[in-house]
Amino acid sequence: MNLEIFNQIPLYRFLQYCENAVPESETKTILDCGAGGCRPPLSLFYAYGYKTIGIDLESEQVESANAYGHQNQQSLNIIEGDMTDLKFEDASFDFVYSYNSIFHMKKVQIKKAIQEMKRVLKPGGLMFVNFLSVDDFRCGEGPDLGDHQYEQMDDEPVIHAYFDYDEAEPYFEDMTFVLKERRVIERIYEGERIQQGFIDYILKK
Amino acid sequence: MNLEIFNQIPLYRFLQYCENAVPESETKTILDCGAGGCRPPLSLFYAYGYKTIGIDLESEQVESANAYGHQNQQSLNIIEGDMTDLKFEDASFDFVYSYNSIFHMKKVQIKKAIQEMKRVLKPGGLMFVNFLSVDDFRCGEGPDLGDHQYEQMDDEPVIHAYFDYDEAEPYFEDMTFVLKERRVIERIYEGERIQQGFIDYILKK
């Protein structure tokens, strides 16, 4: 078994909620929106017996994630896709999540993506999504697009949308609240002590 | 292998830092201060190849933790002990942690416990400790012992000490800063939406 600890620590809690939600005998399906990259956290869910599907906008990220899966004898099923326009039927997944991904869009698109995630989730299913918070050290950096949205330079210019603590609440008014976590993390990055800020949600449809 | 996800989610991050700190070939020793209970997180470290030792004040908690270990074919080595007076040599562990435990004492004792944890840690070793924060919904409940310390009723009367965000910083002035996380968690408990607050640290000696 792959003993790697994944960077996306809050997904361990989501996994725990998922494990408690479904009897072991059923097939458990999970969708990751923004699933690409060299160490895809869908691998963790696969190891726990989930049927995984992931989408990512960028083909390189998709390839990199599937390559990791192959190395670990896992069929992660990560394909190209746009989380604001999911090519899946209504109510087709037990679990849906998006980790450190949804905030790379403007807030109008984020709203669409969340509507899509809710649509493809089965009634009673669980959803995890996290947001960058205005506590983050990069909030305010780069060309200002208004409403705490900035175009920032990573490897290429990329949108970062930051949220006030209660700003995302309206997205979830039609769902059952499970958990909300505000995380302010200070750590050393390239020799400097930086502060990151996130707001995580777990919700039930 | 035991596939249980442990409740103590921040320890997954600590485990990740521990894994990155030591070459796989060495014996990795870890001490848990407040290690007792029915699902002891030392089990997670054991599964990753660590030589574990834990202490707990209460014999019932010690028995319960070791029973869990035996069920899972793990020798967790949990014994009775007081974290303000550790019966171990200086510099005897690669890693030391205390999770959701140290704040059940008054702050004078907490200071002693942290001194002890530092003492038994090897130079270069990593330490995790977390504190209750004043954000917690129970801060202010019960007989006031001053300085955000309260005697609260769990199964029996027990001290809870709450910390301001930067209040614990002086404890760690002689250590290398690695990570600090402020967590404010809202979740449903007995039908009510409650707010818990924690401050987690990872430090290097």
For the residues B172-196, what does the mean pLDDT come to? 97
Q: Give the confidence band of B155 by pLDDT, cuts at 50, 70, 90.
A: confident
The C-alpha atoms of residue B143 and residue B174 are separated, in whole angstroms, by 34
- Give CA–CA dist A197/B188, Å, rounded: 23
CA–CA min distance A183, chain B (Å): 5
pLDDT of residue A154: 87
**Complex ipTM value:** 0.94
Cross-chain Cβ contact A182/B182 below 8 Å = yes
Query: How far is the C-alpha of A34 from the C-alpha of A62, rounded, in Å?
Result: 9
Chain A partners within 8 Å of B47 (Cβ): 3
* Identity of residue A91: A
pLDDT in tens, B110-136: 999 999 999 999 999 999 999 999 999
Q: Please, which residues 145-174 of chain B have a Cβ atom closer than 8 Å to chain A?
A: none
Give a yes or no: residue B5 inside a domain. Answer: no
pLDDT of residue B79: 98
Residue B175 clears pLDDT 70, i.e. is over it: yes
**Residue B145, SS3 per DSSP:** strand
**Has residue B23 got a pLDDT over 70?**
no
Per residue in B35-78, pLDDT (tens digit) is 999 999 999 999 999 999 999 999 999 999 999 999 999 999 99
Domain range for B152 is: 10-204
Provide the domain count of chain B. Answer: 1
For residue B40, count other CB atoms closer than 10 A to its CB.
Answer: 29
Q: Flag whether A2 is in a domain.
A: no
3-state secondary structure A22-41: CCCCCCEEEEEECCCCCCCC
pLDDT score, position A3 = 79
What CATH number does the domain containing A106 carry?
3.40.50.150
Inter-chain residue contact B12 with A1, CB threshold 8 Å: no
Structural domain includes residue A186: yes
Beta strands in chain B (DSSP E): 28-33, 50-56, 78-80, 93-98, 121-133, 144-146, 149-153, 157-163, 176-189, 192-204
Structure confidence at residue A2 (pLDDT): 67
To 10 degrees, the CA torsion angle through A64, A125, A48, B42? Answer: 110
What sign does the dihedral A107-A59-A37-A126 (CA atoms) show? positive
Tell me whether residues B183 and A181 touch, CB distance under 8 A.
Answer: yes
DSSP state of A5: P
Count of beta carbons in the 10 Å neighbourhood of residue B171: 19
Q: Does B182 touch chain A (CB under 8 A)?
A: yes
**Residue A89 identity:** E
Q: Is residue B28 part of a domain?
A: yes
Interface test with B, best of A12, A165, A203 (most B CBs within 10 A): A12
Is B94 a domain residue?
yes
Residues of B in contact with A16 (CB under 8 A): 5, 7, 9
Q: What is the largest CA-CA distance in chain B?
A: 51
Q: Contact A94/A30 with Cβ under 8 angstroms?
A: yes
Q: Which residues numbered 16-55 in A keep a CB inside 8 Å of some CB on B?
A: 16, 19, 47-48
Q: Which pairs count as long-range contacts for B144-151, CB under 8 Å and 24+ apart, including other chains? A: B145/B106, B147/B107, B149/B106, B149/B107
Candidates A24, A26, A25, A13; CA nearest to A122 is A26
Mean pLDDT calculated for residue range B89-117: 97
Q: Taking residues B75-96, report their average pLDDT.
A: 97
Asked whether residue B151 is domain-assigned, the answer is yes
A3 assigned to some structural domain: no
CB under 8 Å, gap of 24 or more: what pairs does B109-117 form? B109/B84, B110/B161, B111/B171, B112/B84, B112/B85, B113/B33, B113/B83, B113/B84, B114/B171, B114/B172, B116/B83, B116/B84, B116/B85, B116/B86, B117/B31, B117/B33, B117/B83, B117/B86
Q: What share of chain B is helix, strand, coil (3-state, %, to 5)?
A: 25, 40, 35
In a domain, B187, yes or no: yes
Across chain A, which has 205 residues, the per-10-residue mean pLDDT values are 87 96 80 97 96 97 97 97 98 97 97 98 97 97 95 92 98 98 97 97 98
Tell me which chain A residue has its CA closest to the CA of residue B203.
A187
How much of chain B, in percent, has pLDDT values that exceed 90?
Answer: 93
Nearest CA in chain B to A3: B48
- Note the pLDDT of residue B24: 61
